[in-house]
Amino acid sequence: MKFEKAVRRKAKLRLALSGPSGSGKTKGALLLAEGLGGKIALIDTEHNSASLYADAHEFDALNLDPPYSPERFLEAIQAAEGAGYDTLIIDSITHEWSGKGGCLELVDEIARAKYKGNSWSAWNDITPRHRKFVDAMLRSPMHVIVTTRSKTETAQTEGPNGRKQVVKLGMKAEQRDGIEYEFTTVLDIVHDCHLANATKDRTGLFGGDAKIITRETGAMLLRWLESGEEQLKPPERKYDHETALKWLNEAPTVPTAQSRHERLHALAESDSQRSDLDSALNAYMEAALRAAA
């Protein structure tokens, strides 16, 4: 076992949009995907409702009918990967959990068939199947955006004119407890104003402020994802000095250049190569200072 310096790597987006019916989850997911760029695939479990946005957004859709078993979602994810899409929207993953033929129904069926009605034992069969679906989202080479329905409650608030009004609030997402931990960012959408609140945000881009989702939101997330450090693959490969210098000189930021210099310095095979790396970093820093002046 060996500990190494922690480095934020380039990554793919893992984002969840949660909200009550009519809050704008599908529209928001499409805007985010367009901001990310590339080909968009959408798995539609909402009776082909995403096609209503086809005039305003370009994407390919797969209408997924029941049963909503984890394996059906897994097959659809693999189909999107095989077709070379850049971003996958799953609208929604609530059906994998509580839809017809989803995990909750499967537990009841297995409990009756195998465990004399003992649903606790049936979860031993269902949990690994659900986990494979979640893992497929996390390991995918695509950006993945999912929507989840949320249980709806209403509250009375005071409107701009001072009058009392009833607003629809999205509460807990309808999926397995803890599903939010799997995503980089989770946005809860308020029904009436369509503002998105970040209830989980590893990017630090949302700053606690509610925002309207736009294409620029997706572009902002992409810049953050792409600003991470590239993987030097593999560290054990024979050191190529010319490639190393090029990689250092192409660093997008000063902190990235410094990080790359440190890693390459450890891989260099001679004092001469390490001296070249030092000179390259100094030249990079001087150019950055001139550009900032």
As a whole number of angstroms, the distance between CA 15 and CA 185 comes to 5
Q: Report whether pLDDT(234) > 60.
A: no
Burial class (CB within 10 angstroms; exposed 0-12, middle 13-18, buried 19+) of 128:
exposed
The pLDDT, as a whole number, for residue 65 is 94
Residue that has been written with the tokens 């192409």 in this structure: 250
Q: What average pLDDT does the segment 49-69 reach?
A: 95
Confidence grade of residue 209 (pLDDT, cut at 50, 70, 90): confident
Q: Are residues 162 and 31 in the same domain?
A: yes
Q: Are residues 259 and 175 in the same domain?
A: no
Query: What's this model's pTM, rounded to 2 decimal places?
Result: 0.74
Any domain includes 90? yes
The pLDDT, as a whole number, for residue 154 is 61
Q: Are residues 170 and 197 in the same domain?
A: yes
Any domain includes 44? yes
Any domain includes 232? no
Q: Are residues 276 and 184 in the same domain?
A: no
Domain final residue, candidates 203, 226, 249: 226
Q: Are residues 116 and 245 in the same domain?
A: no
Q: Report whether pLDDT(192) > 80.
A: no
Question: Within 10 Å of residue 271's Cβ, how many Cβ atoms?
Answer: 8
Q: Are residues 207 and 249 in the same domain?
A: no
Please state which of the ranges 8-17, 38-47, 217-226, 263-272 shows the lowest mean pLDDT.
Answer: 263-272
Q: Are residues 222 and 245 in the same domain?
A: no
Range of the domain at 252: 241-292
Please state which of the ranges 148-157, 171-180, 281-290 shows the lowest mean pLDDT.
Answer: 148-157
Any domain includes 2? no
Q: Are residues 163 and 64 in the same domain?
A: yes
The answer to whether 142 touches 11, Cβ cutoff 8 Å, is no
- % of the chain beyond a pLDDT of 70: 89
Which of 33, 29, 27, 16 lies closest to 172, judged by CA? 16
Any domain includes 174? yes
Q: Are residues 49 and 90 in the same domain?
A: yes
Any domain includes 177? yes
Question: Within 10 Å of residue 207's Cβ, how many Cβ atoms?
Answer: 8
Triad 193, 194, 197: Cα angle to 5°:
110
As a whole number of angstroms, the distance between CA 293 and CA 280 comes to 20
As a whole number of angstroms, the distance between CA 197 and CA 56 comes to 25
Q: What is the pLDDT of residues 103-141, one digit of tens each?
A: 999 999 999 999 999 999 999 999 999 999 999 999 999
Task: Give me the CATH number covering residue 110.
Answer: 3.40.50.300
Q: Are residues 44 and 94 in the same domain?
A: yes
The answer to whether 235 touches 264, Cβ cutoff 8 Å, is no
Any domain includes 125? yes
How many domains does the chain contain in total?
2
The answer to whether 149 touches 92, Cβ cutoff 8 Å, is yes
